[in-house]
Amino acid sequence: MTTPSPPSIPDDTYEELVEATLLALSKTGYLDLRVRDIDAEFPKSRQLIHHYFDGKDELVTETLSVLVDQYSRELDSSPGDDPLAKLNDEIDRVLLGEAIADFDYWMFVTALYEIMAQSHHNRDHQVLINRLTDELVDHFHTIMQGGIDQGVFEDVDTLRLAKVLDDLITGAQSKKIFLGNDDALLETRAMIDRLVISQLVPADTSSATD
C-alpha cells in the first residue's frame, strides 16, 4: 500500500500507522476500536500516534482515504479488450477478491465495511464511501457501455445494471463479513449471471451462433 504521506509524517511511519489501523479495524471493528488496539499492531512508539493524529477517529478517516484510493486503483488494472471477459474478471475481483495478490483483500474489505457500518455518525466517511461506490458503479457502467459500442452486448440501461451489481456485491460481502455466511459470495455470483449478465448477453445468442 503506497499512498503518499502528509508532509509532516515520514513515509515509513505513515504506512505503518495505516497498516496498523487497518489490521486493528479488521480484528476489533470500528465501534470497539481504541488507540491501544492500533498501538498493539504498530511497531513504533504509541506516542507517534498521538503526535500525528488527534485520536482514533482522525486516524481511521486517514486510513479510509487510503483504502478508497487503493480500491480505485485496483478498478483500473484488469487487462483485456473482450468486454464480457473483462466484466466477469472485474466482478470476480471485486466480489470474490480473485487475482489480487498485492495485499490481504478480505482484511481490506472487512475494515472498509466496519467503517461503513458506523458512517452514519461521520459525514467525512460517508463522502469517501459514496465516492468509492460511485467509482465502482461508473467502472462497471463503462465496461458495459463499451460492450454495447462494440456490438457485443445488448443495448440496455447500463447504469441501472451497474447499480444492481453494486447492490448485489455489497449485500453478499455484508453477509460474509457480519454474518459469517461465506456461501453468500458464490450464491450471489450465480445470481449476477442470472440477473445481470443474461441481460447483456441473452442465452439464445450463443446457440444462434453455434
User: 19 in a domain, yes or no?
Assistant: yes
**Cell numbers of 190, please?**
450465480
Q: Give percent of the chain above pLDDT 70.
A: 88
Please name which of 25, 29, 105, 23 lies closest in space to residue 70, comparing C-alpha atoms. 105
CATH of the domain at 81: 1.10.357.10
Residue 164 has pLDDT above 90, yes or no: yes
Maximum average pLDDT range among 72-81, 95-104, 116-125: 116-125
pLDDT at residue 72, as a whole number: 84
Confidence of residue 104 (pLDDT cuts 50, 70, 90): confident
- What is d(CA 103, CA 1) in angstroms, rounded to the nearest whole number? 8
Residue 206 has pLDDT above 60, yes or no: no
**Angle between helix 105-117 and 123-149 (nearest 10):** 120
Confidence of residue 132 (pLDDT cuts 50, 70, 90): very high
Dihedral-angle region of residue 59 (phi above 0 means left; psi in -120 to 50 means alpha; beta otherwise): alpha
For residue 145, the Cα-to-chain-centroid distance in whole angstroms is: 22
Residues 67, 68, 71, 73: is their CA dihedral positive or negative? Answer: negative
Confidence of residue 204 (pLDDT cuts 50, 70, 90): low
Which is more confident, 54 or 190? 190
Measured from the Cβ of residue 1, the count of other Cβ atoms closer than 10 Å reads 14
User: 209 in a domain, yes or no?
Assistant: no
2 near 15, Cβ under 8 Å?
yes
User: 37 in a domain, yes or no?
Assistant: yes
Q: Which domain holds residue 47?
A: 11-201
Maximum average pLDDT range among 11-20, 47-56, 188-197: 188-197
User: 207 in a domain, yes or no?
Assistant: no
Confidence of residue 102 (pLDDT cuts 50, 70, 90): low
User: 122 in a domain, yes or no?
Assistant: yes
Rg, C-alpha atoms of the chain: 19
- Rounded to two decimals, what is the model's pTM? 0.86
pLDDT digits (tens, 9 = 90+) for 49-96: 999 999 899 999 999 999 899 888 877 655 668 999 999 999 999 999
DSSP secondary structure of 75-105: TT----S-HHHHHHHHHIIIII-TT--SS-H
Confidence of residue 208 (pLDDT cuts 50, 70, 90): very low
pLDDT at residue 76, as a whole number: 66
Measured from the Cβ of residue 91, the count of other Cβ atoms closer than 10 Å reads 22
114 near 25, Cβ under 8 Å?
yes
User: 208 in a domain, yes or no?
Assistant: no
Residue 170 has pLDDT above 70, yes or no: yes
Show the beta-strand stretches assigned E in the chain.
Answer: none
Q: Total domain count for the chain?
A: 1
User: 3 in a domain, yes or no?
Assistant: no
pLDDT at residue 79, as a whole number: 60
User: 132 in a domain, yes or no?
Assistant: yes
